[in-house]
Amino acid sequence: MKKQKGISPELEKAISDLLKATMSDPTASLTDKSKIIDRALKLEQLKARISDDDWGAGFASDDDE
């Protein structure tokens, strides 16, 4: 089985659908809305890290020498 690099399209769609549903729900609390916005933002952060080949590269260098 080939390991997939990146975010699962199903996960992206699920978070997107949940965001739309929560924001359009008049009974959703501010806390509920804030939580789903936070999840969507975290997903975007992960996508940015995956697409940035240099992300985390600083841990491999030894600047103390």
How far separated are the first and last CA of the chain, in Å rounded? 41
pTM above 0.85, yes or no: no
Residue 60, pLDDT above cutoff 80: no
Other Cβ atoms closer than 10 A to 32: 13
Question: For residues 49 and 55, is the Cβ–Cβ distance under 8 A?
Answer: yes
Give the mean pLDDT of the chain. 82
> What percent of the chain has a predicted confidence (pLDDT) above 90?
51
Q: What is the pLDDT of residue 56?
A: 60
> What percent of the chain has a predicted confidence (pLDDT) above 70?
71
Tens digits of residue pLDDT in 20-51? 999 999 999 999 999 999 999 999 988 888 77
CA Rg, the chain, in Å?
Answer: 17
Question: For residues 6 and 48, is the Cβ–Cβ distance under 8 A?
Answer: no
What is d(CA 21, CA 24) in angstroms, rounded to the nearest whole number? 5
